[in-house]
Structure 1
Amino acid sequence: MKNLVSLFHKRIGMPNNETITFEKLAEVLEKTAQSIPFENLNIFEGKIQTITKENLMKKIVERNEGGLCYELNPFFYFYLLENGFNAVLTDGVVYNHAAEEYHQLGRTHVTILISHEEQTYLIDTGFGGNLPLKPVPLSGEIISSYNGEFRIKKVNHQYGNYCLEMKLKHKDRDWKIGYAFDSRKSIEDAAKLNEIQTIISEHPKSSFNKHPLLTRLTKNGNITLTDTTFTKWADGIISKEAINTEKYKGLAKQHFGL
């Protein structure tokens, strides 16, 4: 198997011999968010594969595709392990703001927890345009990045013992819930990841099996492409364009390399 770290650094534009310390993770997370799209094209193209380290490497750093949370965060988890970090994967339940309740699909969000100097942090590379871009401590300390403010709140309910809260820059005035997760439970093997992939790709209430979706952060905002619209956020200014199938294909190639 080719070296995961060197291939990943090539993909995101990091020097191959860069030593990745805890302090360096913010830079890695920013480059990852700007280089690797959150996208669901495999679901629509009938190319779903079993989640393994080897298959994730082929998808993300050999074919230069993106993925959803159950692909992007496990890949980054393997990257963290290879750089000597103490990391685990866990699952969570995303909050549905339109319905004002947690998603009925259940524990289908995959995220990462790392331990560093006797403190636990959440790391997420697979939450669409809602990425903190830095490790977020479970202590409740507010973390700021160019994408907004983020914090972890202690909770006690059926969905877990913590939740990620956020105020996205130029978008949110008040704190809003991202998802709840349980720091006491980790994903022990790939069977759970494949179970989540099946739910996301097949469940009637999944939002990811209805239309193509591609999004990634830019240096001053983010871009989102569906089969009918192309949306840009740049320095707080939003522009939205209606598109057809031909335009969609061109934009997918131009902005996402897909």
Structure 2
Amino acid sequence: MNNINILFHNRLGIPYNEKITFENLHIILEKTAKTIPFENLSIIGEKTTEITEDNLVHKILQQNEGGLCYELNTILNLFLVENGFNAVLIRGVVYDQMNQKWSTTGKTHVANLIRHHEQQYLVDTGFGGNLPLRPVPINGEIVASNNGEFRVDRIESEHGDYIFYMKLKYKDKDWKIGYALDSKDVIRTLPELNDVQKTIREHPDSAFNKNPLITRLTDKGNLTLTETSFTEWVDGKLNKKEIDKQSFHDIAEKYFSL
């Protein structure tokens, strides 16, 4: 049997006796974003496994790897539930900023909804460098963290009943759509996530099945590694350099422990 609570505390470097509450959940979200990378190496390396609790625990909490939204938010969900949170996984459709349209891969984004004092909040640790580091109430209220501002508005569409907006610090002057989410499309069992993984792995329009991508937040910004470049944001300043294949592996190990 997996003790997700102990393993998650260990991965984040948090004392096991530190109680996790709604009031300090932002600390967990920040530590998760800065510790566990968003990455697609198992997709690119054709090493994906079935989505089960055992496999997620082994990959993320024992092997110290990262993952994509359906892995990162699921392991977070298991941890939250074990700590007494009323948390469920829901689906969403990402907005393609580059092409200004909704992703044709459909409802392949997976995030958490938690209920606290009769209010629902979006909790997401699987959206790359665009993470709200605090729970975001789904009532339009703006939430700020050290990487930007975030809100969730009630907007009915073919993709769901809410839309997540973001305005990233140093990067966005105006609000941008992150994704639509469907609060009614709750993922009831982990095997449902295998369909999400299959789509991301095989769909021709998937953003994650063509080239490797690794990113995580830092205390002063974020790091992003691709096959051809390494980008560092530090206090709003961008430093980007071109790299080769060997450099990719060296940087992945040095900065992401992968």
Instruction: Pick the TM interval, shorter chain.
Output: over 0.9
Deviations 1:103-156 (A, max 9, x none): 011000000000000000000000000000100001111000011000001101
Using the TM superposition, give the Cα deviation of residue 46 of structure 1 relative to its aligned residue in structure 2, in angstroms: 2.0
Is the counterpart of residue 250 in structure 1 residue 234 in structure 2? no
Number of residues of Structure 1 aligned to a counterpart in Structure 2: 258
Partner of 2:222: 222
Partner of 2:165: 165
What does 1:166-185 align with in structure 2 at a 5 Å threshold? Answer: 166-185=166-185
If the length of structure 1 is used for normalisation, what is the TM-score?
0.99
Report the aligned-residue RMSD. Answer: 0.7
Is the counterpart of residue 193 in structure 1 residue 193 in structure 2? yes
Partner of 2:42: 42
Using the TM superposition, give the Cα deviation of residue 101 of structure 1 relative to its aligned residue in structure 2, in angstroms: 1.1
Q: Aligned AA for 1:77?
A: N
Partner of 2:86: 86
Partner of 1:97: 97
Using the TM superposition, give the Cα deviation of residue 185 of structure 1 relative to its aligned residue in structure 2, in angstroms: 2.1
Separation in 2, partners of 1:184, 1:51: 22
Between stretches 178-187 and 168-177, larger displacement belongs to 178-187
If the length of structure 2 is used for normalisation, what is the TM-score?
0.99
Using the TM superposition, give the Cα deviation of residue 53 of structure 1 relative to its aligned residue in structure 2, in angstroms: 0.9
Partner of 1:64: 64
Deviations 1:42-69 (A, max 9, x none): 0122210000111100000100000000
Name the SS for the 2:214 alignment partner: strand
Q: Aligned AA for 1:223?
A: L
Using the TM superposition, give the Cα deviation of residue 230 of structure 1 relative to its aligned residue in structure 2, in angstroms: 0.2
Name the SS for the 1:219 alignment partner: coil
Separation in 1, partners of 2:60, 2:237: 30
Q: Aligned AA for 2:141?
A: E
- Report if the CA contact (8 A) 2:52-2:191 is conserved: no
Name the SS for the 1:222 alignment partner: strand
Q: Aligned AA for 1:177?
A: I
Name the SS for the 1:182 alignment partner: strand
Separation in 1, partners of 2:232, 2:142: 27
Q: Aligned AA for 1:159?
A: H
Name structure 1 gaps, 5 residues minimum. none
Name the SS for the 1:186 alignment partner: strand
Is the counterpart of residue 208 in structure 1 residue 238 in structure 2? no
Q: Aligned AA for 1:113?
A: L
Name the SS for the 1:185 alignment partner: strand
Using the TM superposition, give the Cα deviation of residue 251 of structure 1 relative to its aligned residue in structure 2, in angstroms: 0.1
- Report if the CA contact (8 A) 2:153-2:162 is conserved: yes
Separation in 1, partners of 2:103, 2:231: 25
What does 1:101-140 align with in structure 2 at a 5 Å threshold? Answer: 101-140=101-140
Using the TM superposition, give the Cα deviation of residue 171 of structure 1 relative to its aligned residue in structure 2, in angstroms: 0.2
Separation in 1, partners of 2:62, 2:241: 32
Deviations 1:60-99 (A, max 9, x none): 0100000000100011000000000001100000001121
Separation in 2, partners of 1:14, 1:139: 31
- Report if the CA contact (8 A) 2:230-2:243 is conserved: yes
Using the TM superposition, give the Cα deviation of residue 36 of structure 1 relative to its aligned residue in structure 2, in angstroms: 0.2
Name the SS for the 1:151 alignment partner: strand
Partner of 1:77: 77
Separation in 2, partners of 1:126, 1:36: 10
Separation in 2, partners of 1:30, 1:110: 18
